[in-house]
Chain A
Amino acid sequence: MTSTGGPGSAAPPRRHHIVTALVENKAGVLARVSGLFSRRGFNIFSLAVAPTDDERLSRITIVVDVESAPLEQIVKQLDKLVNVVSITELAPEEATEGELLLATVRAGAAERGQVIALVDVFGGKIVDVGPEHMTVMLAGTPASVDDFEHLIEPLGITELQRTGRVALPRLERRAPRLRSIAGEAG
Chain B
Amino acid sequence: MRMTGAQALIKSLEMERTEVIFGLPGGAILPVYDPILDSSIRHILVRHEQGAGHMAEGYAHVTGRPGVAMVTSGPGATNIVTPLADAAMDSIPIVVITGQVPTTAIGTDAFQECPITGVTMDITKHNWLVTDAQDIPRAVAEAFHVATTGRPGPVLVDVPKDVSNAPMDWYWPASVDDLDLPGYHPPTSGDPVQIRKAAELILGSARPVIYAGGGILKSHASGALLELAERTGIPVVTTLMARGSFPDSHPLCLGMPGMHGNYTAVTAMQHADLLVALGSRFDDRVTGKIGAFAPGAKVIHVDVDPAELGKVRRPDVPIAGDARVVIEELVQALEALGLGPSARSSVSGSSSVEVTTGGSTAVGSAAAARPDLRPWKAQIAAWQKQFPLTYDQTEGGPLKPQFVVEQLRDMTPDDTIVVAGVGQHQMWASQYWRFDYPNTWVNSGGAGTMGFAVPAAIGAKVGRPDKMVWAIDGDGCFQMTAQELVTASAERIPIKVAILNNAYLGMVRQWQELFYAERYSEVYLSPDLPDYVKWAEAMGCVGLRVESAEEVAPAIEKANGIDDRPVVIDFRTDAFEKVYPMVPAGASNDDIIVGPDEGEGGR
Contacts and interface: CB of A to CB of B under 8 A. Distances in A.
Given A24-B182, A73-B307, A82 B125 contact: yes
Contact of A1 (B121, B126, B310): B310
Interface in A1-37: 1, 23-24, 27-28, 31-32, 35-36
Given A31-B121, A35-B121, A186-B320, A77 B307 contact: yes
B136 interface: no
Nearest to A73: B311
Contacts of A83: 126, 183
Interface of A is mostly: mixed
A80 interface: yes
A186 B125 contact: no
Nearest to B188: A185
Contact of A86 (B117, B126, B146, B183): B183
Contact of A186 (B122, B126, B311, B321): B321
A106 to B, nearest CB: 41
A150 interface: no
B326 to A, nearest CB: 9
Contacts of A85: 182-183
Contacts of B305: 80
Interface in B500-553: none
A76 interface: yes
Nearest to B183: A85
Given A36-B122, A73-B307, A182-B183, A28 B129 contact: yes
B64 interface: no
A97 interface: no
A183 B309 contact: no
Contacts of A117: none
A145 interface: no
B51 interface: no
Chain B, interface residues (CB within 8 Å), range: 20 to 34
Nearest to B311: A73
A186 B310 contact: no
Interface string B115-150: 001100110011001000000000000000010000
B66 to A, nearest CB: 16
B349 interface: no
Contacts of A86: 183
Given A31-B121, A72-B310, A186 B183 contact: no
A32 B126 CA distance: 10
Given A32-B121, A82-B183, A82-B184, A185 B191 contact: yes
Interface string B287-317: 0000000000000000001110111000000
A39 B122 contact: yes
Interface in A68-122: 70, 72-73, 76-77, 79-86
A1 B122 contact: no
Contacts of B117: 28
Given A73-B307, A76-B307, A79-B306, A186 B194 contact: yes
Nearest to A82: B126
B187 interface: yes
Interface string A166-186: 000000000000000011111
Nearest to A186: B191
Contacts of B320: 1, 185-186
A28 B183 contact: no
A89 B376 CA distance: 44
A55 to B, nearest CB: 14
Given A23-B183, A186-B318, A80 B307 contact: yes
A182 B184 CA distance: 9
B122 A35 contact: yes
A27 B310 contact: no
B306 A182 contact: no
A1 B319 CA distance: 8
Nearest to B153: A80
B315 to A, nearest CB: 9
A164 to B, nearest CB: 23
A45 B118 CA distance: 24
Interface string B414-436: 00000000000000000000000
Interface in B146-187: 146, 181-185, 187
A141 B319 CA distance: 39
**For B125, B126, B182, B190, which residue has the most chain A Cβ atoms within 10 angstroms?**
B182
Contacts of A70: 310
B183 A24 contact: yes
Contacts of A184: 306
A73 B184 CA distance: 18
Contact of A76 (B183, B306, B321): B306
A146 to B, nearest CB: 33
Nearest 4 Cβ contacts at the A-B interface: A186-B191, A185-B187, A76-B307, A85-B183
Interface of A: 1, 23-24, 27-28, 31-32, 35-36, 39, 70, 72-73, 76-77, 79-86, 182-186
14 contacts: A28-B118, A28-B129, A32-B121, A72-B310, A82-B126, A82-B183, A83-B183, A85-B182, A183-B185, A185-B190, A186-B190, A186-B191, A186-B194, A186-B321
Given A35-B121, A82-B184, A184-B306, 6 more contacts: A28-B121, A80-B305, A185-B191, A186-B191, A186-B194, A186-B320
